[in-house]
């Protein structure tokens, strides 16, 4: 493509004007037309510090709790952890109370469990009089006179207890009635370990509490029994205070 340059004709130096016959020089369009006070641009070799005028005071460093609050919109970490721990402690107390209040309350061979059994019996029947108690590690079976005020009445009710009573079954019997509250629960704690020493690899140990006959020369009240998978069994009879009356090792 051919460049087209606009030109203007100027008179030559020393020209007398039109008609002088002197030929003028041809210059590119715009040459010599810049104002006399214009200066040629040249970059500054030492520029000013641009950040000096706009730099701000440094922001204070925020703590972990402040940053956590801003990110999550919740409470500081320390407060949240403390609240969770407090809720867990309260839940533990509620669970403990719901389970019976104290460890062992549903284990009638322990002191706490036996006391809970006696209290529940009194609430269920209005009396703590029974004819027999068979006490396992985690439940008990109580035989209760149907009519506590009539010793001659052989009718009786059998209650199953594992922390609470179920519906009783009915039957008859002639065992002597006695007050279960006269038995010391702290004595029961140490009876099964004694008989379990007589048998190798003993399995469940249970206690039977009966009132001995008035003319019985050996007043055993409590019998602790255990056995193993081979059918070997042992028994120890005790008085109410835990005194050993008779030992029956495996034969």
Q: Residue 22 falls within a domain, yes or no?
A: no
Q: Does residue 157 sit in the same domain as residue 200?
A: yes
Could you count the other beta carbons within 10 Å of the beta carbon of residue 80? Answer: 14
Query: pLDDT 10s digit of each residue in the chain, 251 long?
Result: 444 444 444 444 444 444 444 444 444 444 455 555 555 555 555 555 544 444 444 555 555 555 544 444 444 544 444 444 444 444 444 444 444 456 568 899 999 999 999 999 999 999 999 999 999 999 999 999 999 999 899 999 999 999 999 999 999 999 999 999 999 999 998 999 999 999 999 999 999 999 998 887 778 899 999 999 999 999 999 999 999 999 999 97
For the chain, the domain total comes to 2
Q: Does residue 125 sit in the same domain as residue 172?
A: yes
Q: Does residue 169 sit in the same domain as residue 137?
A: yes
Backbone φ and ψ for 227, nearest 5 degrees, come out as -155, 175
Picking from 228, 151, 167, 169, the residue whose alpha carbon sits closest to that of residue 195 is: 228
Q: Residue 139 falls within a domain, yes or no?
A: yes
Q: How far is CA 204 from CA 74, 153, 187, 251, in A?
A: 55, 34, 18, 19
Q: Does residue 171 sit in the same domain as residue 75?
A: no
Res 97: pLDDT = 45
Complete DSSP assignment for 117-166: HHHHHHHHHS--EESEEEE-SS-EEEEEESSTT-TT--EEEEEEESSSB-
Residues 108, 119 contacting (CB under 8 angstroms):
no
Res 62: pLDDT = 56
Q: Does residue 116 sit in the same domain as residue 91?
A: no
Res 151: pLDDT = 86
pLDDT tens by residue, 183-236: 999 999 899 999 999 999 999 999 999 999 888 777 889 999 999 999 999 999
Q: Residue 158 falls within a domain, yes or no?
A: yes
The rounded distance, in Å, linking the Cα atoms of 251 and 247 is 12
The rounded distance, in Å, linking the Cα atoms of 194 and 224 is 9
Q: Does residue 90 sit in the same domain as residue 198?
A: no
Q: Residue 4 falls within a domain, yes or no?
A: no
Q: Residue 149 falls within a domain, yes or no?
A: yes
Q: Residue 126 falls within a domain, yes or no?
A: yes
Residues 140, 207 contacting (CB under 8 angstroms):
no
Q: Does residue 93 sit in the same domain as residue 168?
A: no
Q: Supply the range of the domain harboring residue 76.
A: 69-98
Q: Which tokens is 116 given? A: 């809970």
Q: Does residue 92 sit in the same domain as residue 192?
A: no
Q: Does residue 121 sit in the same domain as residue 166?
A: yes
Residues 139, 108 contacting (CB under 8 angstroms):
yes
Res 219: pLDDT = 81
Q: Residue 198 falls within a domain, yes or no?
A: yes
Q: Residue 47 falls within a domain, yes or no?
A: no
Q: Does residue 131 sit in the same domain as residue 77?
A: no
Q: Does residue 217 sit in the same domain as residue 184?
A: yes
Picking from 250, 193, 251, 194, the residue whose alpha carbon sits closest to that of residue 227 is: 250
Res 217: pLDDT = 75
The rounded distance, in Å, linking the Cα atoms of 201 and 228 is 6
- CA 11 to chain centroid: 106
Residues 76, 65 contacting (CB under 8 angstroms):
yes
Q: Does residue 115 sit in the same domain as residue 224?
A: yes
């Amino acid at each position: 493509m051919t460049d087209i340059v606009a030109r203007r004709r100027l008179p030559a130096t020393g020209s007398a004007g039109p008609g002088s016959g002197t030929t003028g020089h041809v210059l590119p369009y715009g040459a010599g037309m810049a104002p006399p006070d214009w200066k040629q641009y040249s970059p500054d070799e030492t520029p000013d510090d641009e950040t000096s005028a706009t730099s701000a005071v440094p922001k204070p460093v925020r703590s972990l709790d402040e940053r956590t609050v801003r990110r999550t919109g919740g409470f500081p970490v320390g407060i949240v952890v403390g609240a969770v721990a407090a809720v867990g402690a309260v839940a533990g107390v509620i669970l403990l109370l719901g389970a019976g209040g104290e460890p062992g309350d549903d284990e009638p061979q322990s002191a706490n469990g036996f006391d809970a059994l006696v209290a529940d019996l009194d609430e269920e029947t209005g009396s703590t009089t029974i004819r027999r108690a068979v006490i396992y590690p985690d439940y008990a079976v109580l035989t209760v006179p149907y009519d506590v005020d009539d010793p001659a009445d052989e009718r009786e009710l059998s209650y199953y207890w594992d922390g609470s009573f179920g519906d009783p079954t009915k039957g008859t019997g002639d065992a002597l009635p006695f007050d279960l509250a006269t038995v010391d629960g702290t004595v029961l704690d140490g009876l099964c370990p004694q008989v379990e020493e007589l048998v190798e690899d003993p399995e469940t140990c249970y206690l039977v509490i009966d009132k001995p006959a008035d003319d019985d020369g050996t007043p055993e009240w409590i019998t602790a029994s255990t056995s193993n998978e081979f059918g070997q069994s042992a028994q120890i009879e005790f008085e109410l205070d835990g005194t050993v009356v008779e030992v029956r090792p495996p034969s």
